[in-house]
Amino acid sequence: SAHRDGLIGLWDLRPDAPVALRCTLKSTSQINAIAVQSLSDILSSARSRFVCPSSSMLASCLPDALLFAGENDSSLSVWSLSSTKLQSEPDVLAEGHLVRRVDSYGATCALVSAGRILISASIGRFLCFWDTRRSSFETTLTLATGSQVCSLVVLQQRVYGGMEDGTVRGWELLPDRLGARLACKVEGHPG
């Protein structure tokens, strides 16, 4: 969970354990959106054998997960969720650490993960596509949306956005390269 105070709470939600806050991460700015990307999702999206460069974000968090936090100060923070585990419960995270912090081209409104791709929507009517397997974590594609994106979800090979103008737009993710093309636009929420 995240809050405008810059705190990210990591919760134990296993069905056989009581719900409990296990760890708190502190950011320097208000958190607007979070997304978690498991390393198995990233690595399974590789068509061939993937070798993790030691300089990449993945090397800092193998074998668990990355947490992305879109912040109000136009930054995107990347947290490793593979640091110290609780000695008494080896599957439970004891803490996380900040791996990288980059400019996200405006305050982030929404984030979604699709395999190795992270998609962010920032103030300014753009989707940014980030390849989480690259050594240099920077946006590799910026796509104009025509309206402010309020929410994002990925279903199969499409990313859908709830837009400020009341429409829902769907972009088909391109299979052969990082990117997307507008596939549909429908009226969603009048007014």
pLDDT digits (tens, 9 = 90+) for 132-187: 777 667 777 778 888 888 889 998 889 999 988 889 999 999 887 778 899 999 98
Q: Give the pLDDT confidence score for residue 190 in this predicted structure.
A: 62
Confidence (pTM): 0.73
Stronger pLDDT, 6 or 43, i.e. the higher one: 6
pLDDT, tens only, 53-101: 444 444 444 446 777 888 888 888 887 776 554 455 544 444 566 777 7
Question: Is-contact 66 43, C-beta < 8 A?
Answer: no
Look at the block and give the residue holding tokens 């709830």.
Answer: 162
Q: Give the pLDDT confidence score for residue 38 in this predicted structure.
A: 66
Q: Is the pLDDT of residue 16 over 80?
A: yes
Taking residues 22-43, report their average pLDDT. 74
Query: How would residue 189 be classed by pLDDT, with cut points 50, 70 and 90?
Result: low
In angstroms, rounded to a whole number, what is the distance separating the alpha carbons of residues 191 and 168?
A: 13
Question: Is-contact 153 118, C-beta < 8 A?
Answer: no
Query: How would residue 52 be classed by pLDDT, with cut points 50, 70 and 90?
Result: very low
Going by C-beta distance under 8 Å and a sequence separation of 6 or more, which residues neighbour residue 136?
none
Q: Give the pLDDT confidence score for residue 191 in this predicted structure.
A: 54
Helix (H, G, I), strand (E, B) or coil at 44: helix
Q: Is the pLDDT of residue 45 over 80?
A: no
User: CA angle, 82 as apex, 114 and 8 as ends, to 5°?
Assistant: 75
| Residue length of the chain | 191
